[in-house]
Amino acid sequence: MKIKITSDSTCDLSPEQIAKHDIGILPLTVTMGDTNHLDGVDIKADDIYAHVAQGGGLPKTSANNIGQYQEAFETYLKEYDAVIHLNISSGFSSCYQNACLAAEDFENVYIIDSFNLSTGHGLLVMKAAELAESGMDAAAIVEVLRETAGRVDASFILDKLEYLKMGGRCSAAAALGANLLKLKPCIEVKDGKMGVGKKYRGAFEKCLKEYITDRLADREDLELDRIFITHSGVSEEWLKIAEETIRELQPFKEICITRAGCTVSSHCGPDTIGVLYIRK
């Protein structure tokens, strides 16, 4: 059975991972000013940062509509026996709902709600691609993915709250207080929605080590095949600290470092980094 794995652009996988597994990416629309762009195609996170730095407002991201999904599924089914499409969490976007409605017109299109975002979503896309390559049939892959979705652990730590403040997700007073107290909040994905977890205090390098230690230390319930370090634009020093801390704590077979796309970056801003993995 020839199966095509597809995903919203919000999965934040690297170009190399996408190419290696021939994953079909459906880019979300990013509206900046009066101009529409395609996420990861003609706009990157750094373009957003430059726009905001020059006095522009935060961009808006739009879900793919039903027609866009129908067109993509119809195109892939000319070459493949089935399509498995993985969406950003239905708690963040109408992508999942639209994809489900589009899939009603086809017999062999399966839609998966990742209940996650960024490489929390990407972990499931990678698993889907590897299972398809192993020869597993579509229905069995779908069953595995739906069970695995609840075991993905995704979180990020933020150095600054400016973008959360601009987006209305954090008050100006809270942002000022966090800056004065050098608080670095952890944002966690739970049950398909984002919430604030532990707040770390001090220099970001110290907070980053503490955050990763809290997520990984003394854990025996982790799948050790793969972990992602995903960031919205941070220094090489911070990436090195993150990777070294992971290696000290757990023997992951693969540590993947990827850059967050426009969706995560437009909400969190630069200097955000997270570790994302699957529990047993």
Dump pLDDT digits (tens) for 20-47. 999 999 999 999 988 999 999 999 999 9
Q: Which of 258, 55, 274 is nearest to 184 (CA)?
A: 274
Q: Note whether 157 and 26 are same-domain residues.
A: no
Q: Note whether 179 and 132 are same-domain residues.
A: no
Q: Of 132, 149, 166, which residue constitutes the final position of a domain? A: 149
Does 133 have pLDDT greater than 80?
yes
Residue 7 DSSP SS3: strand
pLDDT at 173: 41
Q: Note whether 144 and 158 are same-domain residues.
A: no
CB of 45 within 8 A of CB of 260?
Answer: yes
Q: Note whether 59 and 94 are same-domain residues.
A: yes
pLDDT at 164: 67
pLDDT at 100: 98
Does 57 have pLDDT greater than 90?
no
Residue-range definition of the domain harbouring residue 227: 151-278
Confidence grade of residue 162 (pLDDT, cut at 50, 70, 90):
confident
Contacts with 10 (C-beta within 8 Å, 6 or more apart), sequence order: 28, 39, 88, 93, 95, 117, 118, 121, 261, 263, 264
Contacts with 54 (C-beta within 8 Å, 6 or more apart), sequence order: none
Look at the chain and report how many structural domains it folds into.
Answer: 2
Q: What is the mean pLDDT of residues 199-208?
A: 94
pLDDT at 176: 41
Distance of CA 267 to the CA centre of its chain: 12
Q: Note whether 137 and 159 are same-domain residues.
A: no
More confident residue, 178 or 81: 81
Q: What is the mean pLDDT of residues 118-135?
A: 98
Does 178 have pLDDT greater than 60?
no
Q: Note whether 108 and 239 are same-domain residues.
A: no
Of 57-61, 171-175, 251-255, give the range with the top mean pLDDT. Answer: 251-255
Q: What is the mean pLDDT of residues 86-92?
A: 95
Q: Which helix (H) or strand (E) holds 190?
A: strand 183-190
